[in-house]
């Protein structure tokens, strides 16, 4: 049996719900015999590093991008770890989808990403999440992160962390949301335009309702 590996970069404005969509897709894949979903999550990786690294913390909290070389090296390291975990996993399903959140975010990273996938001859099928700036800002205001387990939740749905009942706090970079959106428009939108023209298989999804968005993306995976 040949396993088909597909890289799926998730593109979307900060606050478009990438983390929630990733966890929904993983839940769907857990009970599905055909599709395995794993992820490379750059943002949460750097937020973890930021706990012990003042330099990274300042950049992450400010909403600026880490340097291209840091982003490129980290991406390669994380994707190799994920690929190794999949290969050594007990069950290899027909299709393995590697979701990528937070990369590539700038022009140089986009070029590096293209060179990487060409050198490995990998299949890529990007997902573009569409969301109004205003809604993404509102969403970040009600988003909380658990200081204990790191889970993200909305205070609309939960007053405390649904896993460990700790009181959540705002993600530090959510305070710089307007700046993050400006950085996104300057640095990442050109990468998105390029990606829209580069890949045959792609999907654009409204991310107002994240459950519906995840189901649409899941259907897209089934047809890949």
Which residues would be at the binding site for Zn ion (CB under 5 A)?
146, 148-149, 151, 161, 163-164
Residue 95 makes CB contacts below 8 A (sequence gap 6+) with 3, 4, 6, 34, 35, 36, 221, 224
Shortest distance in whole angstroms from residue 168 CB to Zn ion: 8
Q: Which is nearer to Zn ion, 161 or 213 (CB)?
A: 161
Shortest distance in whole angstroms from residue 158 CB to Zn ion: 10
Q: Which is nearer to Zn ion, 48 or 163 (CB)?
A: 163
User: Of 158, 169, 221, 189, nearest to 21 (Cα)?
Assistant: 221
Q: Which is nearer to Zn ion, 19 or 126 (CB)?
A: 19
Q: CA–CA separation, 213 vs 135, rounded Å? A: 15
Shortest distance in whole angstroms from residue 152 CB to Zn ion: 10
3-state secondary structure 129-196: EECCHHHHHHHHHCEEECCCCCCEEECCCCCCCCCCCCCCECCHHHHHHHHHHHHHHHHHHHHHHHHH
C-alpha distances out from residue 4 to 1, 34, 92, 175, 224, Å: 10, 11, 10, 40, 10
Shortest distance in whole angstroms from residue 166 CB to Zn ion: 5
Q: Which is nearer to Zn ion, 153 or 218 (CB)?
A: 153
Q: Which is nearer to Zn ion, 164 or 178 (CB)?
A: 164
Shortest distance in whole angstroms from residue 72 CB to Zn ion: 32
């Amino acid at each position: 049996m040949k396993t088909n590996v597909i890289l799926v970069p998730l593109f979307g404005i900060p606050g478009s719900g990438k983390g929630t969509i990733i966890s929904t897709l993983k839940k769907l894949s857990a009970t599905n015999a055909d599709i395995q979903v794993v992820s490379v999550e750059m943002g949460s990786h750097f937020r973890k590093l930021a706990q012990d690294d003042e330099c990274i913390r300042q950049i992450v909290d400010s909403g600026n991008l880490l340097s291209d070389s840091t982003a490129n090296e980290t991406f390669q390291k994380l994707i190799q770890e994920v690929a190794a975990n999949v290969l050594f996993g007990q069950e290899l399903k027909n299709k393995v989808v590697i979701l990528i959140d937070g990369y590539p975010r700038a022009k140089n990273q986009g070029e590096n990403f293209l060179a990487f996938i060409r050198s490995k001859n990998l299949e890529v099928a990007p997902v573009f999440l569409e969301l109004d700036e205003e809604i993404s800002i509102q969403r970040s205001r009600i988003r909380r992160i658990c200081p204990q387990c790191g889970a993200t939740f909305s205070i609309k749905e939960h007053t405390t962390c649904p896993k460990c009942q700790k009181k959540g706090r705002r993600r530090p970079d959510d305070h710089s949301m307007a700046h993050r959106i400006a950085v996104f428009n300057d640095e990442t939108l050109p990468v998105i335009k390029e990606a829209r023209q580069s890949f045959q298989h792609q999907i654009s999804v409204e991310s107002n309702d994240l459950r519906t968005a995840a189901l649409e993306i899941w259907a897209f995976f089934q047809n890949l």
